């Protein structure tokens, strides 16, 4: 059976109008057979997310305080949806069950999951579709790791026989049946796992924005949308801090070769962003992202290349201190190690001492306040003058380049600049690679 899995975020389920929009979208394509929902989010009328309010109730209950006032706000929100959508659910009984769930001392994660549960119950009734509890599908080990093999088996077993189904996102269950959650944003992961297990034609992620942008709109005014991109490009941009989907949500789709389409419920006619393993080339540059607050350790040592195991000893210092290394640009007699300032907090002196002890460099320096700017594009490998354009644009903006690195796949170019120059660097590069082809 040809299926499209549709995931709707909290902003797309905030109120009655939003539920109505979802139904119009789902009914517009008969291949949309699996709907995954988040808990109702914020809107102009609703200033709080249901998940946040449920977490607050759980925290108050665990501390022995009353939470009835906050819970009543949650209940009233679902009562309003039930009434205005003219549903047949016994909403009062559902709210009593959720209240008992909180009062019985269930974990905060378990209590938070009730927002998705209620949202899915309402949506299934509104669409006239089957409801399947996420606890039946997404199975976790006792250690809290997703059991992907068993999860896929359960999804196929339970969902395949059904024609159209609504599933709450965000949560699953331990072997003993107790509820647990993915991290925040977990409904995206739920949708991806369902699409991968069911070998869906497409996974749609409906939210309040019409796809991804070439640059951060807080840095670049009205950046162009990205209409097409590949999973490797998405990974490069998300790794460098671009506000895109989480890696855990993308990996099942990339592995299964299922395209992901990011769409907006506010602008359902907008083409959004289509992500595929071997997507259409949109232009030379797909996107630009920046990540700040790195530190560079630079070691100099004559005949460093002849010192077998030098790099291994150097990296082992960071590994033993539980510090992830972002990159290691090197020269003939020098090597630099780039790490996050956050990861080395309180460890700097210890790391420096251990480097001197194990590596015996002739010179060791560190430089803080480094920002990494990445320019990503599948088209760069076949285009002459990309690096020249990059250097020229930064020079014209009076920005000093402290380091540069190009991946072996030639999918991205990484540039290190001062933190204070980071935003200007992104703006300058965007101006240089405006990406008219992304239209």
Q: Are residues 182 and 300 in the same domain?
A: no
Tokens of 256: 């299964």
The number of helices, as runs of H, and strands, as runs of E, in the chain is 14, 18
Q: Are residues 426 and 296 in the same domain?
A: yes
Q: Are residues 189 and 312 in the same domain?
A: no
Asked whether residue 256 is assigned to any structural domain, the reply reads: no
Show which of 208, 239, 262 is a domain's final residue: 208
Asked whether residue 267 is assigned to any structural domain, the reply reads: no
Q: Are residues 202 and 312 in the same domain?
A: no
**Average predicted confidence (pLDDT) for the chain:** 92
Number of domains in the chain: 2
Run of H or E including 396: helix 386-396
**Segment 95-111 mean pLDDT:** 96
Give the integer Cα–Cα distance in Å for 263 and 323.
37
How far does CA 376 lie from the centroid of its chain? 18
Query: Which domain covers residue 382, as residue numbers?
Result: 287-438
Q: What CATH number is attached to the domain comprising 390? A: 3.30.2130.10
Q: Which residues pair with 299 in a beta bridge?
A: 335, 364
Q: Are residues 192 and 303 in the same domain?
A: no
Which residues, at least 6 apart from 90, have a Cβ–Cβ distance to it below 8 Å? Answer: none
The tens digit of pLDDT for each residue in 285-325 reads 899 999 999 999 999 999 888 888 899 999 999 999 999 99
Q: Are residues 164 and 307 in the same domain?
A: no
Show which of 179, 208, 237 is a domain's final residue: 208
| CB neighbour burial string for 245-274, b if at least 16 within 10 angstroms, e if fewer | bbebbbbbbbebebbbbbbbbeeeeeebbb
pLDDT band, very low/low/confident/very high, at 437 (cuts 50, 70, 90): very low
Q: Are residues 16 and 112 in the same domain?
A: yes
| CB neighbour burial string for 11-37, b if at least 16 within 10 angstroms, e if fewer | bbbbbeebbebbeebbeeeeebbbbbb
Per-residue pLDDT, 407? 67
Asked whether residue 82 is assigned to any structural domain, the reply reads: yes
pLDDT band, very low/low/confident/very high, at 424 (cuts 50, 70, 90): very high
Per-residue pLDDT, 205? 95
Per-residue pLDDT, 263? 95
The tens digit of pLDDT for each residue in 197-206 reads 999 999 999 9
**pLDDT above 90: residue 247:** no
User: Positive or negative CA dihedral for 14, 19, 25, 26?
Assistant: positive
Tokens of 311: 């790099």
Residue with tokens 């760069």: 380
Q: Pick the residue with more confidence: 402 or 125?
A: 125
Show which of 208, 237, 270 is a domain's final residue: 208
Closest CA to 402 of 425, 378, 430: 425
> Phi/psi zone of residue 263: left (φ > 0), alpha (ψ -120 to 50 degrees), beta?
beta
Q: Are residues 35 and 153 in the same domain?
A: yes
Asked whether residue 297 is assigned to any structural domain, the reply reads: yes
Q: Are residues 73 and 161 in the same domain?
A: yes
The tens digit of pLDDT for each residue in 160-191 reads 999 999 999 999 999 999 999 997 567 899 99
H-state helical runs in 41-185: 50-62, 68-84, 91-103, 108-112, 114-127, 148-159
Asked whether residue 249 is assigned to any structural domain, the reply reads: no
Q: What CATH number is attached to the domain comprising 202? A: 3.40.1160.10
φ, ψ for residue 387, nearest 5 deg? -60, -40
Asked whether residue 65 is assigned to any structural domain, the reply reads: yes
Contact criterion met (CB below 8 Å) for 192 and 250? yes
Q: Are residues 338 and 429 in the same domain?
A: yes
Which residues, at least 6 apart from 313, have a Cβ–Cβ distance to it below 8 Å? Answer: 358, 359
Asked whether residue 322 is assigned to any structural domain, the reply reads: yes
Closest CA to 175 of 200, 141, 144, 137: 141
Q: Are residues 297 and 429 in the same domain?
A: yes
Asked whether residue 56 is assigned to any structural domain, the reply reads: yes
**Segment 224-240 mean pLDDT:** 86
Q: Are residues 167 and 24 in the same domain?
A: yes
């Amino acid at each position: 059976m040809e299926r499209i899995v549709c995931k709707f975020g909290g902003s797309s389920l905030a109120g009655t109008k939003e539920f109505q929009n979802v139904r119009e979208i789902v009914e517009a394509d008969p291949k949309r057979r699996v709907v995954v929902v988040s808990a109702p989010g914020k809107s102009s009328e609703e200033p709080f997310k249901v998940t946040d309010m449920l977490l607050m109730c759980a925290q108050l209950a665990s501390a022995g305080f009353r939470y009835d006032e906050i819970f009543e706000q949650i209940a009233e929100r679902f009562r309003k949806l039930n009434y205005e959508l003219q549903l047949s659910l016994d909403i009062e009984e559902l709210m009593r069950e959720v209240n008992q769930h909180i009062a019985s001392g269930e974990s905060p994660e378990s209590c938070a999951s009730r927002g998705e549960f209620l949202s899915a119950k309402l949506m299934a009734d509104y669409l006239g579709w089957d409801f399947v509890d996420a606890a039946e599908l997404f199975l976790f080990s006792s250690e809290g790791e997703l059991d992907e093999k068993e999860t896929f088996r359960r999804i196929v077993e339970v969902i395949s026989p059904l024609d159209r189904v609504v599933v709450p996102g965000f949560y699953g269950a331990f072997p003993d049946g107790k509820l647990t959650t993915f991290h925040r944003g977990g409904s995206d992961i739920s949708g991806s796992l369902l699409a991968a297990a069911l070998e869906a034609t497409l996974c749609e992620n409906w939210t309040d924005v019409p796809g991804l942008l070439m640059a951060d709109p807080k840095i670049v005014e009205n950046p162009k949308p990205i209409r097409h991109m590949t999973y490797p490009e998405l990974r490069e941009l998300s790794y460098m801090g671009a506000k895109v989907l989480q890696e855990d949500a993308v990996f099942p789709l990339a592995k299964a070769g299922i395209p992901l389409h990011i769409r907006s419920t506010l602008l359902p006619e907008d083409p959004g962003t289509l992500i595929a393993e071997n997507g259409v080339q949109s232009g030379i540059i797909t996107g630009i992202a920046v990540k700040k607050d790195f530190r560079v350790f630079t070691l100099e040592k004559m005949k460093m290349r002849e010192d077998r195991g030098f790099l291994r000893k150097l990296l082992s210092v960071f590994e033993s201190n539980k510090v992830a290394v972002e990159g290691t640009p090197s020269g003939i007699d020098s090597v630099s190690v780039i790490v996050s300032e956050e990861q080395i907090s309180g460890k700097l002196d210890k790391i420096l001492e251990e480097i001197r002890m194990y590596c015996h460099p002739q010179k060791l320096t560190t430089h803080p306040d480094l920002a990494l700017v990445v320019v990503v594009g599948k088209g760069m490998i076949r285009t002459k003058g990309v690096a020249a354009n990059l250097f020229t644009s930064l020079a014209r903006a009076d920005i000093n380049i402290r380091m540069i690195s190009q991946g072996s796949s030639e999918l991205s170019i990484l540039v290190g600049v001062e933190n204070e120059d980071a935003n200007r660097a992104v703006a300058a590069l965007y101006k240089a690679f405006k990406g008219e082809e992304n239209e």
